Amino acid sequence: MRLSQLLIPTLREVPAEAEIPSHTLMLKAAMMRKLASGVYIYLPLGKRVLKKIEEIVREEMDRAGAQEVLMPAIIPAELLKESGRWDVFGPEMFKLKDRNDREFCLGPTHEEVFTDLVRNEVKSYRQLPLTIYQIQTKYRDERRPRFGVMRSREFIMKDAYSFDADWDGLDVSFDKMYDAYCRIFDRCGLKYTVVEADSGAMGGKDSKEFMVTSSVGEAVIAYCDSCGYAANEEKAECIVEHESDEEMKPLEKIHTPDVRTIDELVSYLDVKADKFVKTLIYKYKGKIAAVLVRGDREVNTVKLANLLKVNENDIDLAYEETVRSVTGANVGFAGPIGLKGDVLLIADAEVPMMKNIIVGANETDYHLKNANYGRDFKADVVSDIRKVVDGDKCPRCGNPLKLERGIEVGHIFKLGTKYSDALGANYIDENGNEKPMIMGCYGIGLNRIAAAAIEQNHDDKGIIWPMSIAPYHAIVVPVNVSNDAQRNLAEKIYDELSKAGIETLIDDRDLRAGVKFNDADLLGIPIRITVGKKASDNIVELKLRRDENSIELNYDEVVNKVKELIINSI
Amino acid sequence: MRLSQLLIPTLREVPAEAEIPSHTLMLKAAMMRKLASGVYIYLPLGKRVLKKIEEIVREEMDRAGAQEVLMPAIIPAELLKESGRWDVFGPEMFKLKDRNDREFCLGPTHEEVFTDLVRNEVKSYRQLPLTIYQIQTKYRDERRPRFGVMRSREFIMKDAYSFDADWDGLDVSFDKMYDAYCRIFDRCGLKYTVVEADSGAMGGKDSKEFMVTSSVGEAVIAYCDSCGYAANEEKAECIVEHESDEEMKPLEKIHTPDVRTIDELVSYLDVKADKFVKTLIYKYKGKIAAVLVRGDREVNTVKLANLLKVNENDIDLAYEETVRSVTGANVGFAGPIGLKGDVLLIADAEVPMMKNIIVGANETDYHLKNANYGRDFKADVVSDIRKVVDGDKCPRCGNPLKLERGIEVGHIFKLGTKYSDALGANYIDENGNEKPMIMGCYGIGLNRIAAAAIEQNHDDKGIIWPMSIAPYHAIVVPVNVSNDAQRNLAEKIYDELSKAGIETLIDDRDLRAGVKFNDADLLGIPIRITVGKKASDNIVELKLRRDENSIELNYDEVVNKVKELIINSI
């Protein structure tokens, strides 16, 4: 393709809307444009990258024995009502009505549609196991679309669903997908970590996320260098330290006028935050819970939701009014002793190990000193409900955990019978008995792979594409198109590369060499062939985008050299 | 792929929902399933066919120099309001709101989005011409979804848009797409006719449709065997015969009690329908038109809309109340003489040529006999506004036209400046002047190609796929899988064909031979290799789906023979 003809409106300036490198570079390198918040147009280069990722995903799914289908994006409401998810998704799901007032959503995911298909078409154990997938457009009306295609509202997902006769079968299907995912991300040139993820309150067994480590990732990963344990922040277990051997002191009420937050208390009382326990009042499904965590800890709402057996978005911090009615005090003075009404008191597992704690007094402008679990208060439930922090002990081996940010690019999940039970997806086994199918689901965000690849492969000048997903393999740059020798040789090389099946660009624009080199670097094409002054001697320069140095080649060596470079890097 | 593992729930019975052969066969051959009215799931075989069609379309678009992009399916309302089409589409467009109450539609087509992109990114004549396309999902909330994927509400379209500096440029871009379309339909194995289509009241020049001739087509084509003229029913011009040389007789009022329709008049008065003129009362944009056509003719509402310079869906037959107020009579007695109020009287070009016509008297239970144009009434406009009929004279050569039904699979259209004017998509020419880009648009329905191919290629037993879009090239059928020789030889052939890159199925199911042959015929796989009793002698049977007869082959000839058959038929 000729750059003079390609729709490639590269930008010189960093676009104001861009927040992270991949977002900036996808705009600057003319891969995409924004149509609306979280809704993007893919320009020719962006579309090519997506297509390459799509083909890798498809090849690996097919290799793993999964069968490709295509589901509609518009899904009748009845199916999601049958599974109970119509209300669960809330405003994140785009809803619409057709001309006959029938309700639909734009599928945020397709568990129900696949389960519905399979319950209708698969009846016997002989038809199992079955893994089916699609590469299809998904819709999520994100509250805060951001980071370009990293969190967009319309995006392309590969979603696969496995159906097995039993849990052992699911393990096999799951492992096949695990291996396929590793091959996919390897082939896309990504460095990734597989982490344990939360599998929700309702059924589900193993849940693993494929995380591309990146400082701009929205997720936090806890990992152990010693034993290899890795989990996302929501899932990572927190190990309880030994009980403090301090002696219990007498409970004491202290005056803390207008001192409400832990930070304010720390400076007012000159005591470290780990001597406090925070009491947080939550509402969930019309009920109230008071949650106790150490002053320097944070509540992990996923753990809390699992404990309460509700969805995470069913939980919210209570408004002032509720706090007042439960504590009898202004906000900022809640504590575990003397809460009023029907309140479930939950203590993080760390709390009973502490001694002589400072807590709110449930009285405006007062706290209690030297409160002790067991003596002064007891929780209804004690459980691990806090967020992991850097240096926490590894739940496997006890060595310190490290935290790192990551971009979730894939998720595989043993669903079990959640959807087959809800929708009645049963099969008849060898003995004529009806049983629910055991399901797994497996998702990959294609657009996100592109963005993650850029996050891991770029420099100040632009993108550095891994060969496997580069929009083109090579770019031929005649330094001066007015020079006949240069232009002719460049055209000849472009022709020969193209004929050899190498995806090649030629920058045939009548621009300064510097501009052309800048664009080539910005676009991130892995191999650049520069045709300059030595063209008359049939000598050209070959440079890899990821290297500083270039080599000189005789014109007739170019095709073989480029082929070799491509083969070695895919 | 093994049939024992493939998700291929073929049906024995004709599904009740199916209306036409392609619809029946796509369901029976397990290519698809209905999820909701006009919304389909593509099963593995259906998806493979779609993918093959997609690849052919993509190759031919790329060959023609078009560049692939990908647009969102959700389009902000503002863009369609800018072009004025937000209201034009009416209930056929799915509309939705996001969580911030911003309005979107699901794109029924993408003129506005492409024009918006190009007005933002293309500024100079140097960047033109430009043709960009996408293969993407479209949404139309059809009043009556039917015929399976032929008229569905979610479907895949290739839509391309060309942008040129001038009309000559558009001609070049248009011709390239014309040629690409011919190659696409040829490669898909379709027999088609290119017909002239209506280009609408607003701008637009050439408009051509690619019609696959088929008795189940929803469109009607008029064509001339002598000169090659072909047009769709809406566009086909009607030639006016010479004026009747009958002598004018005196106007006469006749009593026709309760005789309202042409059929009733024909039998009541015993006069042929071509002696009558019907007067039809239409409403359009709050105004009223009375339209005169010969009794045995039908009004072509597209011609009428163009004449009135409105959209076709702005025109409707008037309700009884309006008819009464305009005619002063019950419905069924409208006529051109003595209409009341502000009514635009339009006569089809044929009417002034007639003599001594019978028309409604604008008086309940009365008609007029021997009405004559010019003497008794005159129209405000005389124009060709009727539908073409079989035997009408060809507007080019005067020989009789024939009518045939067709399935529209492609449409190419010289839009001109309709959208570039509306959205301000201008460029700066060589002299620094700002000018609107000249646009063309080009659409192909991918799902419809699959259905049309089945309509043209099937028999009582099932589908007969053209090789180029067949889900698999060959199917190996061991007659009896319990027989070792048969099973082993079949597996060996399956292996070798697969290794040779031939897309092969093996029917490894333990079923009766008759059932397996029936399924193979139903699926329409072009080449069947039957491994039966002669397996022990390494002899197998090769049969083409489209032929009655089979040939015997030695096992080691199979791969070469199959390769040869594929090469010769793609």
Minimal CA separation from A196 to chain B, in Å: 31
pLDDT at B61: 98
Asked if the model's pLDDT at residue A202 lies above 80, the reply is no
For residue range B294-304, list pLDDT tens digits in order. Answer: 999 999 999 99
Specify the DSSP class assigned to residue A330: -
Quickly list DSSP for A36-54: ETTEEEE-HHHHHHHHHHH
Contacts of A354 (CB under 8 A, 6+ apart): A244, A275, A277, A294, A373
Count CB-CB contacts under 10 A for residue A558.
Answer: 25
Hey, are the CB atoms on A39 and B106 less than 8 Å from each other?
no
Determine the average pLDDT of the residues in B130-156: 95
- CA dist., res. B449 & res. B451, Å (int): 5
What's the mean pLDDT when you consider all of chain A?
95
- CA dist., res. B475 & res. B558, Å (int): 12
Cis previous bond, B145, omega within 30: no
Q: Which of B46, B67, B96 sits opposite A6 (nearest CB)?
A: B67
Minimal CA separation from B523 to chain A, in Å: 17
Task: State which residue of chain B sits closest to A143, comparing Cα positions.
Answer: B99
A264, two tokens: 């304010």
pLDDT at B390: 94
Task: State which residue of chain A sits closest to B154, comparing Cα positions.
Answer: A72
- CA dist., res. B221 & res. B564, Å (int): 38
Q: Which of A47, A94, A99 sits opposite B98 (nearest CB)?
A: A94
Task: State which residue of chain B sits closest to A8, comparing Cα positions.
Answer: B121
pLDDT at B203: 59
Name the band, by pLDDT with cuts 50, 70 and 90, for residue B155. very high
Q: Which of A9, A39, A113 sits opposite B72 (nearest CB)?
A: A39
- CA dist., res. A300 & res. A233, Å (int): 8
Hey, are the CB atoms on A41 and B143 less than 8 Å from each other?
no
pLDDT at A14: 83
Minimal CA separation from B510 to chain A, in Å: 11
Hey, are the CB atoms on B74 and A5 less than 8 Å from each other?
no
Task: State which residue of chain B sits closest to A110, comparing Cα positions.
Answer: B41
Q: What are B175-182's contacts with CB under 8 Å, separation 24+?
A: B176/B64, B176/B65, B176/B131, B177/B64, B177/B66, B177/B131, B177/B412, B177/B440, B177/B442, B178/B208, B178/B412, B179/B64, B180/B60, B180/B61, B180/B63, B180/B64, B180/B66, B181/B60, B181/B210, B181/B410, B181/B412, B181/B442, B181/B444
For residue range B506-549, list pLDDT tens digits in order. Answer: 999 999 999 999 999 999 999 999 999 999 999 999 999 999 99
Asked if the model's pLDDT at residue B201 lies above 90, the reply is no
Burial class (CB in 10 A: 0-12, 13-18, 19+), A97: middle
CA angle B226, B227, B230 (to 5 degrees): 105
Contact, A477 vs A507, CB < 8 A?
yes
Q: How far is CA A127 from CA A427, A482, B47, in A?
A: 9, 66, 20
Name the band, by pLDDT with cuts 50, 70 and 90, for residue B33. very high
Q: Which of A9, A72, A139 sits opposite B41 (nearest CB)?
A: A72
Hey, are the CB atoms on A68 and B47 less than 8 Å from each other?
yes
Contacts of A94 in chain B (CB under 8 A): 74, 96, 98
Q: How many residues does chain A have?
A: 570
Hey, are the CB atoms on A33 and B120 less than 8 Å from each other?
yes
Hey, are the CB atoms on B96 and A95 less than 8 Å from each other?
yes
Q: Which of B9, B67, B104 sits opposite A121 (nearest CB)?
A: B9
Contacts of A106 in chain B (CB under 8 A): 74, 96, 106
pLDDT at A450: 97
Q: How far apart are the first and last CA of chain A?
A: 22
Contacts of A278 (CB under 8 A, 6+ apart): A262, A292, A293, A294, A295, A297
Minimal CA separation from A387 to chain B, in Å: 30
Name the band, by pLDDT with cuts 50, 70 and 90, for residue A332. very high
Asked if the model's pLDDT at residue A255 lies above 90, the reply is yes
Q: Which of A69, A113, A153 sits opposite B43 (nearest CB)?
A: A69
Asked if the model's pLDDT at residue A200 lies above 80, the reply is no
Minimal CA separation from B291 to chain A, in Å: 31
How many Cα atoms within 13 Å fall on the side-chain side of residue A437? 33
For residue range A348-360, list pLDDT tens digits in order. Answer: 999 999 999 999 9
Asked if the model's pLDDT at residue B204 lies above 90, the reply is no
Minimal CA separation from A11 to chain B, in Å: 10
Contacts of B94 in chain A (CB under 8 A): 74, 96, 98
Element at A208 (helix H, strand E): strand A207-213
Hey, are the CB atoms on B44 and A68 less than 8 Å from each other?
yes
Hey, are the CB atoms on B69 and A5 less than 8 Å from each other?
no
Q: Which of B10, B31, B55, B99 to mutate to test the interface with A (most CBs of A within 10 A)?
A: B99
What's the mean pLDDT when you consider all of chain B?
95
pLDDT at A17: 84
Task: State which residue of chain B sits closest to A42, comparing Cα positions.
Answer: B70
Name the band, by pLDDT with cuts 50, 70 and 90, for residue B569. confident
A4, two tokens: 């003079």
For residue range A98-117, list pLDDT tens digits in order. Answer: 999 999 999 999 999 999 99
Minimal CA separation from B14 to chain A, in Å: 16
**Phi, psi for A519 (deg, rounded to 5):** -65, -40
Contacts of A40 in chain B (CB under 8 A): 72
For residue range B216-257, list pLDDT tens digits in order. Answer: 998 999 999 999 999 999 999 999 888 889 999 999 999 999
Quickly list DSSP for B321-333: HHHHHHHSS-TT-
Q: How many residues does chain B have?
A: 570
Contacts of A51 in chain B (CB under 8 A): 68
Contacts of A102 in chain B (CB under 8 A): 36
Asked if the model's pLDDT at residue B202 lies above 60, the reply is no
B567, two tokens: 């090469």
Count CB-CB contacts under 10 A for residue A6.
Answer: 21
Hey, are the CB atoms on B47 and A36 less than 8 Å from each other?
no
From its phi and psi, is residue A49 left (phi > 0), alpha (psi between -120 and 50) or beta?
Answer: alpha
Name the band, by pLDDT with cuts 50, 70 and 90, for residue A198. confident
Asked if the model's pLDDT at residue A204 lies above 90, the reply is no
Estimate the share of chain B in helix, then strand, then coil, as percent rounded to the nearest 5. Answer: 30, 30, 40
Asked if the model's pLDDT at residue B60 lies above 90, the reply is yes
Contacts of B423 in chain A (CB under 8 A): none
Hey, are the CB atoms on A74 and B121 less than 8 Å from each other?
no
Element at A267 (helix H, strand E): helix A262-269
Quickly list DSSP for A356-380: SEEEE-SSTTEEEEEE-BTTTB--S
Contacts of A91 in chain B (CB under 8 A): 99
For residue range B324-377, list pLDDT tens digits in order. Answer: 999 999 999 999 999 999 999 999 999 999 999 999 999 999 999 999 999 999
Minimal CA separation from B76 to chain A, in Å: 7
CA angle A463, A469, A470 (to 5 degrees): 45
Hey, are the CB atoms on A69 and B106 less than 8 Å from each other?
no
Asked if the model's pLDDT at residue A376 lies above 90, the reply is yes
Domains and their CATH numbers in chain B: 46-236+403-454 (3.30.930.10), 252-383 (3.90.960.10), 472-569 (3.40.50.800)
pLDDT at A201: 58
Specify the DSSP class assigned to residue A460: T
